[in-house]
Amino acid sequence: MAPLGVFNREVFHRHAYVGRMAVVGADIGRTLGLMADWWAPSRRGEWRGGWSLGLRGWGIVTQGAKARWSAAYGRPWLFVRAAGEHGTTAAFGYPRNSPEGERRGVWVPGPSGRDVPYRGTFVDVIGPGFAFDGVDSSELDDHLQAWGMAPAGAPYACRVNAKGAAMARSVVQALHALTTAVDEEASRWG
């Protein structure tokens, strides 16, 4: 286990952003919010009504007339908002260019052929779980039980020790099992 800033810089950034791997979880908005140093209501078009998050280790909280989060390291904001009754959608924002104007961040070919900033792939399994099991709940354990799986007993927080690591491991295993069950059910529907 590593401090959150180190995890965000060395694991989350490397895999979810640079490596463009999918981020899969339950209640992703809350989880990503817990990984952030800064939260502010988003006022940007598609993210209006959601949140702008400044991940720990991806920028700094500036002090001045008004405290704010600054993408000082050229890494993007993270945006989250509700999607339906139990789902969450998320995306990386635009990375800030260097003071010299050099483009930073991860860019990918867009539909027009021009490069666009990588927005990420985020999957919140609670929404699809609700669609297939009909359990009106945002709690992971409720959906696990609906699929005949043992509850994970996921706490809202855990200590950074062996017991906390074991709990995190059991939650990841439960998420994998639920994601697999939902994926298999979705394939049956075509």
Q: What is the pLDDT at residue 1?
A: 58
CA distance 51 to 89: 11
As given in the structure block, the two tokens for residue 93 are: 């924002």
Q: What is the pLDDT at residue 111?
A: 93
Local mean pLDDT, 10-residue blocks, the chain (190 residues): 81 94 88 86 89 88 76 81 85 85 89 94 89 88 93 75 83 90 88
Q: What is the pLDDT at residue 156?
A: 65
CA distance 73 to 120: 18
What is the DSSP track for 76-109? PPEEEEEETTTEEEEEE-PPPPPTT----S-EEE
CB 52 within 8 Å of CB 79:
yes
Q: What is the pLDDT at residue 71?
A: 64
Q: What is the pLDDT at residue 25?
A: 86
- Spacing of C-alpha 81 from chain mean position: 11
Could you tell me the residue ranges of all domains in the chain?
Answer: 4-124, 136-190
CB 45 within 8 Å of CB 79:
no
- Spacing of C-alpha 5 from chain mean position: 15
CA distance 141 to 147: 10
Q: Which of 23, 58, 18, 24 is nearest to 38 (CA)?
A: 58
Q: What is the pLDDT at residue 73?
A: 66
Q: What is the pTM of this model?
A: 0.81
CB 165 within 8 Å of CB 1:
yes
With residue 175 as reference, give the H or E element that holds it: helix 162-188
